[in-house]
Structure 1
C-alpha cells in the first residue's frame, strides 16, 4: 500500500474569532469601561461639599406619595432640617412641580413638611412648575430674580447619587457666577438607592448633551 504523501503546512498562528464577535466584545468592553468611569464620577459627587457662606438653600423635589413625601424626598428634607438648625436664617427654595400621579406639587409637599417641623413659611419660596433637574435649577434662578433675592452663595440639597449632575447643570444655569455647596442626603430605601446609582450614569450623559 502506498503511503499518503505528507505536505508541509506552515503555522498560520492562532485563529481569531469572527470579526462580528470581536467587534461586539469591543463595544461591550467600551460600554462597561464608560459606565464604570461615570459611576465613579457619580460616587465622587455623592458627599457633602460645603464652601463659602450659603445665603439660599435649594431643596430639589422627588416623588410625592399619597401619604406625603416619598422616602427619598423625606431623606432630603430631613437633611435640610439638620442644616437649618445651625443656619436658621436662610432663604429656602423648594423646587418641583406636580406629576400626573401626584396629588400635590413636590414643592407644596416640601413646604408642608418643613413648616410642620417648625420652619417659618415666610422664608420658603415655592418653585412648582419644573419637571426635571434642569428645570428645577433654571426656574429656581428665575424665581429668585422675580422675588428680588440677590445671592452669590447657595447650598443645594438632594440625595447623594444626584449631586454630580446637579453641579454640572448648576454651572450652566448660573453661568459660573455663584459659589455652590451641596448636602448629600442619604438614600434610606435600598432598592431605590441601587436603581438610582445604576440609572444616574446614563442620566449624566443625557443631561450633558441635551439639558442646555
Structure 2
C-alpha cells in the first residue's frame, strides 16, 4: 500500500480549520456550493482542446503503481511526449515527490518513462519534493523563476478530472498556464469529479478565508 499523499501533519492546523469550514459551508448550503463547483469541474473536463505548441510543458505527477506510472499517469506523460515532438525546442518539467513507500519519486519515474519514448534527458527537468497539487505548482513556480518569458504561458498537462482544480491553483500561485487534458476523449468518472469538486471547494474556501482575515502565513502557503 502506498503512503498517503497528504498526512494531517503536512496539512497543519490552518488546513484542518479550513477543511472543516469548507464542509460546514457545504452543509449550510444544502450541498449547493459543492454542486456549483461540480458543474464547473464537469465543464472543464469536457470543453478543452490541447494546444499544439508550448515551450515549457508541466506534467503533474500521480501516485505510482508498483514503482512505475499507472494508467492515468502514463496518459499524462504520453501527452507530453506528443507535445514535445511537435516542438523540438520545448522542455518538460515533471512534478511529484515520493508518494509510495518504496520505489522512485513520481518525477523520477516520469522522467524515465519520457526517455523510453525518445525524449532526451537534457530536455527534462524534475521536481521531486512535492506531495500534492499545491506543492507541485508552487515548487514549479520557484524552479522556473528567471527561466520563463512572463508573456509565454506554460502548458499544464494533467487528467481531465483534475484540470479545473489544477488551473485554479496554478493561477493562484501566479503561473500563467494553458491547460492540456491528458486523455483524448471527454469521458470522466463521476466519482472522481465529485471528489475534485470537493477539493476545489476546500481550496477556494481556504483562500477566501485567508484573505478575509488577512492571515499572511496562510496566504503564503497557498499563493
1:37-186 correspondence to structure 2 within 5 Å: 37-46=36-45, 47-49=47-49, 54-145=54-145, 148-151=146-149, 152-174=152-174, 178=176, 180-186=177-183
The equivalent position to 1:206 in structure 2, one of 199, 202, 208, is 202
- Structure 1: unaligned runs, 5 residues or longer: 1-26
Rounded Cα–Cα distance in structure 1 between residues aligned with 2:49 and 2:184: 17
Contact 2:52 2:83 in 1 (8 A): no
CA contact (8 A) 1:187 1:193 kept: no
Q: Which runs of 5+ in 2 are unaligned?
A: 1-25, 207-221
Aligned residues: 179
For the pair shown, the structure with the greater C-alpha radius of gyration is: 1
Contact 1:133–1:166 (8 Å) recurs in 2 = yes
Give 1 or 2: higher strand fraction: 1
How high is the TM-score relative to the length of structure 2? Answer: 0.71
Alpha-carbon distance in 1 for matches of 2:65, 2:98? 11
CA-based RMSD of the aligned residues comes to 2.6
* CA displacement at 1:59 relative to structure 2: 0.1
Any conservation in 2 of the 1:52–1:153 contact (CA below 8 Å)?
no
